[in-house]
Amino acid sequence: MDTMKPLTHPHRDELRIEAVLDAMANPIRLRIIERLADGEELTCSTALPEVSPSTASRHWHVLREAGVLYARREGRVVLHHLRRDDLDARFPGLLDSVLHAVRTAPDATHA
């Protein structure tokens, strides 16, 4: 019997700009977004090895609930990827603008 809580995601048409911007307004979550921007799937521990599991889990949850990323279970591992197509469809140019700002910030520390 599977007792794991199902992973929920808002549909594309349910994405709200204020939730997406709020989720992106955190330096750790911006690092996650930048790491996922190349299209790979990551686990909590591979993207944030220096962050405690409970803290990392909270950041992933905020990003998933806002619709910024999609999470799927593969056995006991949860893999995450950026919902680029959905974000680009709902908010054209937003993700590219955020990534550009993160990558060109004077104090940018890339993952």
Q: How many residues does the chain have?
A: 111
- Asked whether residue 81 is domain-assigned, the answer is yes
- Asked whether residue 8 is domain-assigned, the answer is no
- Asked whether residue 44 is domain-assigned, the answer is yes
Q: List pLDDT tens digits, range 32-68.
A: 999 899 888 988 777 777 888 888 889 999 999 999 9
Percent of the chain with pLDDT over 90: 59
- Asked whether residue 111 is domain-assigned, the answer is no
Confidence at 5, pLDDT banded by 50, 70, 90: confident
- Asked whether residue 79 is domain-assigned, the answer is yes
Alpha helices in the chain (DSSP H): 17-24, 27-36, 44-47, 53-66, 84-90, 94-104
For residues 84-109, give the mean pLDDT.
91
pLDDT value, residue 111: 47
Backbone angles phi, psi at 51, to 5 degrees: -105, 140
pLDDT value, residue 36: 93
Closest-CA residue to 101 (of 88, 90, 92, 110)? 110
- Asked whether residue 7 is domain-assigned, the answer is no
- Asked whether residue 82 is domain-assigned, the answer is yes
CATH number at residue 67: 1.10.10.10
Is residue 94 over pLDDT 80?
A: yes
